[in-house]
């Protein structure tokens, strides 16, 4: 049961949010940026004071599947309980058994501070009412075992939709656009539905499974940022049958188009090696000076397999019409710790300023990808800062709070006025 | 330059191009029945002459440029020992060489003739040219340097025309990458090259 719990915890990637210091697994401290503010992962080791050592089975199940901790404390959906709601009780208890078998670590939780009105956790009751849809998944007899296993992994355990599905105005998952692409400020989690152009319909099952295992498929994509993290911590450890099941399920999802006429990975061509006047093209000069050493003077990359430097053409991050991922990778690099090798690309944030980065990215996209839009130095500066705070939830929340307050005042005023005539008549 | 038909009424100005030599206007109308239109005749004359003349300048210029370029190509093939050389690369190097040295176009034709007619053994070539105090003695070295290192000119005038496709990098590219390019994916140098 503990082994099973460990496998489930790996698939659900608990460490990603509940391990800040790698030497203290599951002791919390990791932070996640949300439009509402920074939320800290808690200590879920069996420590009785600072962890969850005192929690019962029911407590854990309620927290994981309903987002309510002991004492009625509502959790924020940074803890993906809307996805974990689809897990079975047995699975959650297996994870509990695994976690409780780990050494307790005494580490106090960092307090999560978000601005009013979001710090009123009881308001989550309304959010849950709006956004919590569907409970435990039961196998669908209309589909085969691989599909059902894939669905369980994608929708529940690995909670792919939490990143890959767009969010509605309350920042809940928009289930009608399942896996249609998610906005993570500095990253765009791509549409991974079966659509040929907007999604990954042009990928084979082998390629999808390879990507989840290795993070790199020549001529298609390589993983960076949060996806690299998911592969590093979780997906690379899943058995091959699970990876294939995910591939089967993804290839069978409803296609969600986005107007693209070509798949992301179908753009670009190799750079010619003979040129007359390189100094006329600063973007190209920057490419040669910073990128070509590893990615090749022709942009075709170098090597094969796990640690290869990917080709820049026929690469989804370069071919995507949204330049965000490419800019962020140039600024922050890639660091994907795989079994046996660290896949590494250096960060260029200290080497290139905003306008140089923009010139470089525009060249790379024109030559190797989708040069449809122009990137400006302001765009780069924006991403360098981590993207602007999304004010929509702030407005919605403040508006709702203001409405409640006004309503309460109106009621008080009404009641007060109703009493006045009695006082006046008495005089 | 051109003259119109003196015995016919002046033809109006027809085209901006050069007028040809005046047409022989010895024809006279034979009678009232047949009278060739002077305007049409003048038009046809000048158009024909213009098209003939417009061909002349390139016809004189092109063969000279082509001849030097061809000479450069054939000399390059002999001197480098590579029978197939990229034509685009050849053009880039050729343009750089004639920009660097005004006598190069003529010199390379002379050199090509020497190589073709006298069929000197390549190992003796430089020695032979030096002994004869040939005007083209410096050229073989310039040509080979351009192809192998990608550099044309010396000192302050040196320009790098090609790098990745320079022959010094091409001849070893089954095992190596040009300097400053990574050898392979991380750890690939651990494998024995063979």
Show me where the domains of chain A are located.
1-136, 264-384
Task: Please give the ipTM for the structure prediction.
Answer: 0.77
Nearest C-alpha of chain B: how many angstroms from A344? Answer: 9
Which residues of A lie inside 8 Å of B (Cβ-Cβ)? Answer: 273-274, 276, 292-294, 296-297, 302-305, 307-309, 341, 344
Interface touch A341/B164, C-beta < 8 Å: no
Nearest by CB: A297 against B92, B164, B186: B164
Nearest by CB: A307 against B165, B180, B186: B186
Q: Which domain holds residue B112?
A: 63-177
Nearest by CB: A309 against B86, B165, B185: B185
Nearest C-alpha of chain B: how many angstroms from A292? Answer: 7
For residues A165 and A167, give the distance between their C-alpha atoms in angstroms, rounded to a whole number. 6
pLDDT class of A71 with cuts at 50, 70, 90:
confident
Task: Catalogue the E-assigned strands of chain B.
Answer: 151-152, 159-160
pLDDT mean over A138-167: 93
- Quick: pLDDT tens for A104-113: 999 888 888 8
Displacement of CA B11 from its chain's centroid (Å):
42
pLDDT at A323: 95
Nearest-5° Cα angle at B12, B10 to B18: 100
Nearest C-alpha of chain B: how many angstroms from A43? Answer: 37
> Is B29 domain-assigned?
no
> Is B88 domain-assigned?
yes
Minimal Cα distance from B89: which residue of A? A274
pLDDT class of A422 with cuts at 50, 70, 90:
low
What is each CA distance from A74 to A69, A168, A387, in whole angstroms?
6, 20, 28
Contacts of B88 in chain A (CB under 8 A): 274
Neighbour count for residue A267 (Cβ, 10 Å)? 21
Neighbour count for residue A327 (Cβ, 10 Å)? 24
Interface touch B187/A296, C-beta < 8 Å: no
Interface touch A293/B182, C-beta < 8 Å: yes
Both structure tokens of B143: 């040509």
pLDDT tens for each residue of chain B, 194 residues long:
444 444 444 444 444 444 444 444 444 444 455 666 777 777 777 777 766 666 555 555 556 778 999 999 999 999 999 999 999 999 999 999 999 999 999 999 999 999 999 888 889 999 999 999 999 999 999 999 999 999 999 999 999 999 999 999 999 999 899 999 999 988 888 888 76
Q: CB neighbours of B167 closer than 8 A, spacing ≥ 6? A: B80, B82, B147, B148
R_g (Cα) of chain A, nearest Å: 25
Nearest C-alpha of chain A: how many angstroms from B133? Answer: 35
pLDDT at B57: 53
Residue A315's SS3 state is: coil
Q: Identify whether the C-beta of residue A12 lies closer than 8 Å to the C-beta of residue A5.
A: no
Interface touch B165/A274, C-beta < 8 Å: yes
Task: Domain count for chain B, please give it.
Answer: 1
Which residues of B lie inside 8 Å of A (Cβ-Cβ)? Answer: 86, 88-89, 92, 162, 164-165, 178, 180-182, 184-188
> Is B151 domain-assigned?
yes
- Quick: pLDDT tens for A187-239: 999 999 999 999 999 999 999 999 999 999 999 999 999 999 999 999 999 99
Q: Write down the pTM of the prediction.
A: 0.81
Going by C-alpha positions, the residue among A31, A10, A384 that lies closest to residue A212 is A10
Interface touch B184/A293, C-beta < 8 Å: no
Q: Identify whether the C-beta of residue A120 lies closer than 8 Å to the C-beta of residue A30.
A: no
Displacement of CA A251 from its chain's centroid (Å):
20
The arrangement of secondary structure in A264-384, i.e. its CATH architecture, is: Orthogonal Bundle (1.10)
């Amino acid at each position: 049961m503990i082994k099973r719990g460990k496998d489930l915890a790996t698939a659900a990637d608990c460490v990603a949010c509940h391990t800040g210091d790698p030497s203290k697994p599951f002791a919390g401290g990791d932070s996640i940026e949300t439009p509402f503010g920074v939320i800290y992962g808690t200590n879920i080791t069996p420590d009785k004071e600072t962890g969850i050592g005192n929690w019962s089975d029911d407590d854990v199940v309620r927290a994981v599947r309903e987002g309510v901790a002991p004492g009625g404390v509502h959790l924020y959906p940074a803890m993906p309980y809307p996805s974990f709601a689809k897990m079975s009780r047995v699975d959650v208890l297996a994870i509990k058994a695994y976690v409780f078998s780990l050494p307790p670590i005494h580490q106090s939780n960092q307090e999560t501070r978000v601005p009013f009105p979001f710090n009123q956790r009881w308001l989550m009751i309304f959010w849950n009412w709006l956004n919590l849809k569907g409970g435990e998944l039961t196998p669908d007899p209309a589909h085969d075992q691989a599909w059902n296993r894939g669905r369980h992994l994608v929708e529940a355990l690995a909670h792919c939709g939490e990143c890959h599905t767009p969010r509605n105005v309350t920042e809940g998952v928009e289930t009608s656009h399942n896996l249609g692409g998610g906005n993570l400020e500095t990253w765009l989690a791509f549409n991974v539905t079966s659509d040929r152009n907007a999604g990954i319909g042009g990928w084979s099952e082998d390629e999808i499974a390879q990507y989840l295992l290795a993070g790199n498929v020549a001529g298609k994509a390589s993983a960076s940022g949060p996806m690299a993290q998911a592969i590093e911590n979780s997906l690379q450890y899943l058995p091959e049958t699970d990876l294939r099941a995910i591939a089967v399920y993804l290839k069978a999802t409803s296609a969600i188009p986005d107007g693209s006429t070509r798949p992301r990975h179908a753009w670009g061509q190799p750079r010619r090696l003979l040129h007359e006047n390189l100094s006329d093209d600063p973007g190209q000069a920057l490419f040669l000076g910073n990128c070509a050493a590893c990615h090749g003077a022709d942009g075709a990359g170098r090597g094969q397999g796990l640690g290869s430097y990917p080709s820049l053409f026929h690469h989804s991050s370069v071919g995507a019409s949204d330049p965000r991922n490419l800019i962020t990778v140039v600024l922050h690099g890639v660091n994907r710790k795989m079994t046996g090798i660290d896949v590494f690309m250096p960060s260029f944030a200290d080497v290139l300023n905003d306008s140089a980065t923009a010139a470089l990215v525009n060249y790379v996209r024109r030559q190797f990808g989708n040069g449809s839009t122009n990137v400006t130095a302001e765009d780069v500066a924006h991403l360098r800062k981590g993207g602007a705070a999304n004010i929509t939830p702030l407005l919605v929340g403040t508006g709702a709070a203001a409405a409640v307050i006004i309503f309460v005042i109106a009621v008080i005023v009404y009641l007060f006025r109703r009493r006045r005539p009695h006082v006046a008549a008495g005089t | 330059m051109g003259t119109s038909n003196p015995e016919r009424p002046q033809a109006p100005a027809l085209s901006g191009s050069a007028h040809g030599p005046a047409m022989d206007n010895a024809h006279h109308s034979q009678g009232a029945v047949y009278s060739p239109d002077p305007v049409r005749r003048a038009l046809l004359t000048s158009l024909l002459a213009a098209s003939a003349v417009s061909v002349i300048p390139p016809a004189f210029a092109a063969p000279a440029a082509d001849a030097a370029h061809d000479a450069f190509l054939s000399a390059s093939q002999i001197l480098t020992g590579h029978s197939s050389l990229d034509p685009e690369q050849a053009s880039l190097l050729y343009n750089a060489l004639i920009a660097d040295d005004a006598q190069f176009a003529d010199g390379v034709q002379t050199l090509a003739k020497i190589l073709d007619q006298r069929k000197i053994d390549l190992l003796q070539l430089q020695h032979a040219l030096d002994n004869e105090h040939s005007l083209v003695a410096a050229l073989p070295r310039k040509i080979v340097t351009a192809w192998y290192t990608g550099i044309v000119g010396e000192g302050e005038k040196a320009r790098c025309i090609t790098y990745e496709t320079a022959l010094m990098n091409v001849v070893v590219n089954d095992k190596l990458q040009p300097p400053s390019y990574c050898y392979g994916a991380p750890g690939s140098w651990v494998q024995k090259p063979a």
